[in-house]
Amino acid sequence: MTLSIDEKKAIIEYRIQKAWNSIQEAEDNARLGYWTLAASRLYYAAYYMASALLVDKGFIARSHSGVIHIIGSEFVKKDFLSKEDGRLISRLFNMRQSGDYDDLFDWTEEEVQPFFNKTKDFLARMEKLITLK
């Protein structure tokens, strides 16, 4: 199915907003001391913005791992994003996976807090690459 420009633009705008809303949700959960949920929301913020970027550039990913792979192969390897950016989205994904699926495991403030500003900066860098807003 081919999307019209207006449909692509609507999806991109929706995912950008969802990314920034997820940052707010991460901050809200952090204020309540829910660090595992905060880590998950940080990942989803990066995921939604990455998804918006992929739609903008005409890429299709069928999984979370697919999104991360395309970010690495099309944006990090081609120097649109840094290697640190590639490592960040992978790390956030792993944090979300551990928090959601590992038994007897919870993230702590010390482990999650350093990722707030890094994730916000990453979102801003990805958003700058999106042309169809």
Q: What is the pTM (predicted TM-score) of this model?
A: 0.95
| Count of beta carbons in the 10 Å neighbourhood of residue 101 | 8
Reported as a single tens digit per residue, the pLDDT across 72-124 is 999 999 999 999 999 999 999 999 999 999 998 999 999 999 999 999 999 99
Q: Name the residue ranges covered by the structural domains of the chain.
A: 5-127
Tens-digit pLDDT profile for residues 35-59: 999 999 999 999 999 999 999 999 9
Domain 5-127: CATH superfamily is Nucleotidyltransferases  domain 2 (1.20.120.330)
Q: What is the pLDDT of residue 1?
A: 62
For 27, residues 6+ apart whose C-beta sits below 8 A from its C-beta are 38, 116
